[in-house]
Amino acid sequence: MRIAVSAALLLGSLAGCASGPQRPAASTAGCVRAVVAELPPGLTDPEKHCVASAGIARRCSALEAWLAGWGKEVQDAFAGGDASWDDLVADHVGRTCASAPGGPEARLACCRQALAMPRD
């Protein structure tokens, strides 16, 4: 019962995400792919994770940014990639930077500043 309710809430949340004016695609996968395709060149791996998560959270939804980050790491773990806790941390920073006022440059600056801070 609890699983069915959680799944219904999740699917309802994703269905409600499809109507934003800046949303590049109706589906989660399409929205994520469109945001990732627009990443600027020359980013470090943590910057890519952070800026992608910020963009996905901003243009798709925070839930979809979380799903994309964890999905990428699960894929890396089982498909010979480089699964990393640091990538998930950078994804979290990106979801936080999604609320930075301004455009993509402001989110990149937020990511760079937050990623440069020492971690415990």
pTM assigned to the model:
0.81
pLDDT value, residue 22: 81
Could you list the residue range(s) of the whole structural domain that residue 86 is in?
2-116
- Which pLDDT belongs to residue 21? 52
Indicate the number of domains in the chain.
Answer: 1
Tell which residue, 68, 105, 106, has the closest CA to residue 87: 68
pLDDT per residue, tens digit, the chain (120 aa), is 344 333 333 443 444 444 445 899 999 999 999 999 999 999 999 999 999 999 999 999 999 999 999 999 999 999 989 999 999 999 999 999 999 999 999 999 999 999 999 876
Closest by CA position to 16, among listed 86, 48, 74, 64: 64
